[in-house]
Amino acid sequence: MAETAYDPGNIFAKILRGEIPSHRVYEDDAVVAFMDVMPQGPGHTLVLPKAPSRNLLDADPATLGPLFAIVQKVALAVKKAFDADGVTIIQFNEPASGQTVYHLHVHVIPRFDGIPLKPHTGQMERPEVLVENAGKIRTALSN
């Protein structure tokens, strides 16, 4: 299959440019993390490189080290913030895999013994819940 170009009109590119709002929990020169609006569990966070790529397949390898260092940092923070038993890390590439937004991102989802994940891109969470959960994660990241 021919490669598809990066589309700067994708929703995460708009969030990165500040054109639409998000509940950010982390930002540095290279990486941003914010709450998923249709969480598969409480505290579901997305971690993105600022550098544009559709997904892992066309990413500059130089972006991956800094990205995954923050994935680890956020994973530790959500585990602490929600007193989780574990953390699931998911990353989709192209529609066949389940990818729905075409700017590379990594899902970081706190997990609890015996509780399954909710469906991918299921139900929108209430904004006040996202605000509260983002606050818990920011606190855990700063301690």
Catalytically active residues, by annotation: 105
Residues 92 and 55 sit within 8 Å (Cβ to Cβ): yes
100 sits near ligand 5GP (criterion: CB under 6 A) = yes
Separation between Cα atoms, residue 4 and residue 11, nearest integer Å: 17
Of the candidate residues 30, 38, 76, 117, the single one contacting ligand 5GP (CB under 6 A): 38
Buried b (16+ CB within 10 A) or exposed e, 72-103: ebbbebbbbbbebeebeeebbbeeeeebebbb
21 sits near ligand 5GP (criterion: CB under 6 A) = no
Of the candidate residues 10, 53, 88, 99, the single one contacting ligand 5GP (CB under 6 A): 99
11 sits near ligand 5GP (criterion: CB under 6 A) = yes
Separation between Cα atoms, residue 4 and residue 89, nearest integer Å: 25
Of the candidate residues 69, 89, 101, 117, the single one contacting ligand 5GP (CB under 6 A): 101
Beta strands per DSSP E along the chain: 24-27, 31-35, 45-49, 86-90, 106-111
Of the candidate residues 30, 37, 51, 59, the single one contacting ligand 5GP (CB under 6 A): 37
* Part in contact with ligand 5GP (CB under 6 A); list of ranges 62-70, 77-85, 95-103, 110-118: 95-103
34 sits near ligand 5GP (criterion: CB under 6 A) = yes
